[in-house]
Amino acid sequence: MNNKTILTAMAAAFLGWTGVAATPVMAQSTYDAQFLTYPTYSGDDLELVVDNSGTHFKLWSPKATQARVNLYDNGHTGSAWTTLNMTYDEATGTWSAMFPEKLYGKFYTFQIYQNGKWLNETPGVWAKAVGVNGKRAAIIDFDITDPAGWEKDKGPKVDNFSDVIIYEMHHRDMSMHPSSGIANKGKFLALTEPGTKSPEGLATGIDHLKELGITHVHILPSYDYNSVDEANLQQNTYNWGYDPQNYNAPEGSYSTNPSDPATRVREMKEMIKALHDAGIGVIMDVVYNHTAENDGSNFELTAPGYYHRHWDDGRYSDASGCGNETASDLKQMSDYIINSTKYWADEYHIDGFRFDLMAIHDTETMDKVAAELKKINPSIFVYGEGWTAGDSPLPVERRALKENVSRMTDIAVFSDDIRDAVKGHYTDASDRGFASGKPGLEETVKIGIVAATKHPQVDYSKGNNSKFAYADSPEMIVNYISCHDDLCLTDKLRKSLPDTPDSIRKEVAKLAQTIIFTSQGTPFMFAGEEIFRDKQGVHNSYKSPDSINAIDWSNKALNIDLFNYYKGLTALRKAHPAFRMTSADMIAKHLVFDKIDSAKQPNLISYSLKNNANGDSWKEIKVIFNGTDHAQTLNVAKGNWKIVAIDGKISPEGDLGATRGGRMTIAPYSALILAMD
Ligand code: CA
C-alpha cells in the first residue's frame, strides 16, 4: 500500500498532548451513530461449525428481516441443491440454521433480505476455505490440511522484537524467474523446495534465506484477494494483493489447485512449516483497513453499512485511498480484526502481522490485537504503517498513528524518518539522501539510529518527518530504506545518482543498509536488494508483470560481493546485542554520538556503543558513516580497535585488521565499524 506521510505530519501538529484519554464509545459521524445500537456477537462459532450433530451456520446480520443459506456441490458453478431458512436471535443479532450431517466437500453462500430486497449471495466474512475466486465458502475438514508434524510446529522464539530481522517478499517475486530453479513457481510451495540453485549454482529460495541470515519473512498479502482470476492462472496475472476479499482463507492463485479448497490451506501450512523448520518466522501482511469492493464486499452483503466508516451524509469515507475504509471503532469490526488475527496465529502458526495503513484503525483495537496474540504466542510481532492515505472521520488522537505509538502496547511502526533521510524522499525519484550525498539530513538519520527514542544528543526540532521522540522504546520501531512500495533501492539509486556507475551505487547501497542494520529498533529489508534486484524503474509495480517484479537470480553471482556484505550485516547484528538494545534508557546511556560540525563535514555521523551495551561481548563499538562521494577523516579515540567494516567490506568477527585509532579515513559512501574487547 502506498504510504502517505503528509497526514502523519498533519496529525503531529494536532498532537500537542501526550496524556492518555479515556475514549468514549461514540460514532465517528452522525450516519455511523445508527450502528451503535446494533447487538454484537464475537463467539468463535460464527458462520460455520461442523460437529457430530451436523453442520451449523450462524450469520451476524442484525438488520436483515430474513436470511438463508444456499448449499452447493461446486465452488463456482451449478445451482444450489438446497436452501436453508435461518432463524433470528435478537440478543446476538445472529441468524442460525443447521443441516444434520457433516457437509464436508460442499459449498455455501449466505443471502440476506434487507430494505425490501434479497441482496447478492456472499460467502460471509468468516469463510475459512473457499472455492475458485472466493465466491462460495467451502466446508472442509481442517484436520486433513495439516502437514506431517504440524502439531509440533512452531516459529522461532523471540525474546525482544529488536532481535527480529525482517525480509519482505512477494511469492511471485521470489520464484517466478526461470533463474530461480524452483519448480513451484509463484506458489506457496516454492519455499518448501530445498537445494534450488541459480544457473550459476548459487542458492535460491529457502536456502538463500537461510544463507542470508534473516529471522522472519514478511509475506505480502496471502489471504484471498480479488484481482487475480484463479480460474485462469495461465494468464499469469501479477498483483500485490492489497484488495482483500476473504480475510480468513489463503489466496488461491498461490496454490497448485485453487478449485480444491483444502489445497491452498495445506500448501500455505507446508510453506510455513518449511520456514519454521529452517528457523525462520512468518509474518503476514494484513489489510483490514479496506475492502476491494464497496457495496459488493462481503461486509456489505452480510451487514450493510456496518463494517465501513462513513461521512455524515452516508458516503463511504476513504482513508485507504482505495474507495472505502473499515470501522475498527465499532465493536463488531474491532472484534473481527482481533479474532481474524487470532485465527491465523492458531490455525496457521503465523509469527507476526504487518498492518497496512494501521492508522485507519483505532489504538484500542490495536492494543487488543497485540494483547490477545501475546496470549497465543508471546513471540508474535505486530507492526504497521503508522499513517493513512487520506482523511478519516476517526479523530487523530484515536488513530494508530506513528505519533501515537507510545500510547499503544507491543505495537511497532515503520520509521519513514530513516527511510527518507537515508535514501532520499519517496515522492521525488531524483532526491538523494544522507547515504547518497545530500547534506542536511544528519539529525533525521540520528532519529533513526536511536529508534525515535528520547536521546540527549538528538535534536528533534531538526527532524524532517517527526519533531518529537515518538517512541518510548526501540521495540516500537521498524527501520527500513525500501519495501514493495515506491522505487526499490537499486532503482532509487539509479534515478538519484544518474551519472554514477552501478559499482559505486552498490557501495551506496551497502552504506544505506549498514545504517539500517546497525540502528536501534528492528531492521526490515526488501527481497532481492541483497543481490541488487531492480524493477526497471517502476515505482508502483502492484500489477506490473513478472518481467518487472520477478527477481532475476543470476544477479546473485553478479553481485556476490553485495550479497556477502548483507550476510555480514545479519551476522553482525545477531552476534552483537549492542545493536539490539531493549529500552530508551539503555540507548540514552550507551549510545554516544561524536561531535561533528555538519557545516564543515557534511554527511558524516559517528557514534559509539559503550560499556558492553546490552551485555555485548565488545566493550565499545564505533560506528562511522560517510555519505559523501569523497573520503573524510575523523579522530577516533586511541585504543586497541579491531576492524569490523571498512571500504565496503565487513567481518562480523572484526578480523579485517587492527588499528590504534587516531586520525582515520572513511572511504567515500562507506561505513567504518571498529570494536574493542
Ligand atoms: Ca483470490
Domain boundaries, the chain: 47-145, 161-580, 590-676
Q: Is the pLDDT of residue 25 over 60?
A: no
**What's the rounded mean pLDDT across residues 550-559?**
98
**What's the rounded mean pLDDT across residues 265-288?**
98
**What's the rounded mean pLDDT across residues 247-258?**
98
Mean pLDDT computed over every residue of the chain: 95
Burial class (CB in 10 A: 0-12, 13-18, 19+), 40: middle
Q: 464-469 — which CB contacts under 8 Å span 24+ positions?
A: 464/417, 464/420, 464/421, 465/5, 465/8, 465/9, 465/416, 465/417, 465/420, 465/421, 466/12, 466/402, 466/403, 466/417, 467/12, 468/12, 468/403, 469/584
- What is the pLDDT confidence band of residue 294, given thresholds at 50, 70 and 90? very high
User: Distance (Å, rounded) from C-alpha 675 to C-alpha 677?
Assistant: 7
**What's the rounded mean pLDDT across residues 554-558?**
98
548 Cα: distance to centroid of ligand 1 (angstroms): 21
Cell of 232: 485462469
Confidence (pLDDT) at 1:
52
List, in order, residues 6 or more apart from 88 with CB less than 8 Å away: 64, 67, 94, 95
Q: Is the pLDDT of residue 321 over 80?
A: yes
Cell of 285: 501482511
User: Distance (Å, rounded) from C-alpha 291 to C-alpha 252?
Assistant: 17
Candidates 485, 342, 458, 375; CA nearest to 5 is: 485
130 Cα: distance to centroid of ligand 1 (angstroms): 9
297 Cα: distance to centroid of ligand 1 (angstroms): 13
The percentage of the chain sitting over the pLDDT mark of 70, rounded to a whole number, equals: 96
**What's the rounded mean pLDDT across residues 148-166?**
98
Q: Is 200 helix (H, G, I), strand (E, B) or coil?
A: coil
Q: Which CATH superfamily is domain 590-676 in?
A: Golgi alpha-mannosidase II (2.60.40.1180)
Which residues are known catalytic residues? 356, 385
Length of the chain: 677
Question: What is the maximum alpha-carbon separation in the chain?
Answer: 84
123 Cα: distance to centroid of ligand 1 (angstroms): 13
**What's the rounded mean pLDDT across residues 645-668?**
98
354 Cα: distance to centroid of ligand 1 (angstroms): 20
User: Distance (Å, rounded) from C-alpha 177 to C-alpha 172?
Assistant: 8
47-145 against 590-676: fold identical: yes
SS3 of 52-68? CCEEEEEEECCCCCEEE
75 Cα: distance to centroid of ligand 1 (angstroms): 13
225 Cα: distance to centroid of ligand 1 (angstroms): 4
574, 518 contact by CB (below 8 A): no
Burial class (CB in 10 A: 0-12, 13-18, 19+), 177: buried
Question: Tell me: the pLDDT tens digits for 338-387?
Answer: 999 999 999 999 999 999 999 999 999 999 999 999 999 999 999 999 99
360 Cα: distance to centroid of ligand 1 (angstroms): 24
Sole residue written with cell 457433516: 102
Confidence (pLDDT) at 27:
77
Q: Among 1.10.510.10, 2.60.40.10, 3.40.350.10, 3.30.930.10, name the CATH number for the domain at 47-145.
A: 2.60.40.10
Candidates 673, 514, 523; CA nearest to 606 is: 673
Sole residue written with cell 444456499: 70
**What's the rounded mean pLDDT across residues 646-671?**
98
Confidence (pLDDT) at 20:
40
**What's the rounded mean pLDDT across residues 461-474?**
96
**What's the rounded mean pLDDT across residues 501-520?**
98
DSSP string, 275-340: HHHTT-EEEEEE-TT--S-STTSHHHHHSTTTSB-B-TTSPBP-TTSSS--B-TTSHHHHHHHHHH
Question: Tell me: the pLDDT tens digits for 600-649?
Answer: 999 999 999 999 999 999 999 999 999 999 999 999 999 999 999 999 99
Confidence (pLDDT) at 13:
38
Q: pTM, whole model, 2 decimals?
A: 0.96
185 Cα: distance to centroid of ligand 1 (angstroms): 17
251 Cα: distance to centroid of ligand 1 (angstroms): 5
134 Cα: distance to centroid of ligand 1 (angstroms): 6
What sign does the dihedral 555-556-562-563 (CA atoms) show?
positive
464, 418 contact by CB (below 8 A): no
User: Distance (Å, rounded) from C-alpha 46 to C-alpha 615?
Assistant: 48
Sole residue written with cell 480479488: 226
What type of residue sits at position 442? E
**What's the rounded mean pLDDT across residues 649-654?**
98
Residue 594 is classified by DSSP as P
Q: Is 97 helix (H, G, I), strand (E, B) or coil?
A: strand
Q: Is 92 helix (H, G, I), strand (E, B) or coil?
A: coil
- What is the pLDDT confidence band of residue 11, given thresholds at 50, 70 and 90? very low
**H or E element, residue 28:** none
- What is the pLDDT confidence band of residue 513, given thresholds at 50, 70 and 90? very high
Q: Which residue stretches of 535-611 are H helix?
A: 546-549, 554-558, 560-575, 584-590
Cell of 135: 465466491
406 Cα: distance to centroid of ligand 1 (angstroms): 36
For the chain, the 3-state helix, strand and coil shares in percent, each to the nearest 5, are 30, 20, 50
Question: Greater confidence, 10 or 191?
Answer: 191
List, in order, residues 6 or more apart from 117 with CB less than 8 Å away: none
Confidence (pLDDT) at 4:
40
Confidence (pLDDT) at 28:
86
Question: Tell me: the pLDDT tens digits for 397-456?
Answer: 999 999 999 999 999 999 999 999 999 999 999 999 999 999 999 999 999 999 999 999
Cell of 667: 572511504
What type of residue sits at position 441? L
User: Distance (Å, rounded) from C-alpha 454 to C-alpha 673?
Assistant: 24
655 Cα: distance to centroid of ligand 1 (angstroms): 50
226 Cα: distance to centroid of ligand 1 (angstroms): 5
Q: Which residue stretches of 150-255 are H helix?
A: 171-175, 205-212
Q: According to the CATH classification, is domain 161-580 in 3.20.20.80?
A: yes
Confidence (pLDDT) at 8:
41
What type of residue sits at position 560? I
Phi then psi for 229, rounded to 5 degrees? -75, 110
Q: How many CA atoms lie within 13 A of 70 on its CB side?
A: 21
48 Cα: distance to centroid of ligand 1 (angstroms): 20
527, 483 contact by CB (below 8 A): no
Indicate the Cα dihedral angle 588, 594, 595, 601, nearest 10°. Answer: -130
Q: Is the pLDDT of residue 2 over 80?
A: no
440 Cα: distance to centroid of ligand 1 (angstroms): 46
Instruction: Write the CA distances from 203 to 173, 181, 270, 411, integer angstroms.
Output: 16, 9, 20, 34
152 Cα: distance to centroid of ligand 1 (angstroms): 30
135 Cα: distance to centroid of ligand 1 (angstroms): 9
56 Cα: distance to centroid of ligand 1 (angstroms): 25
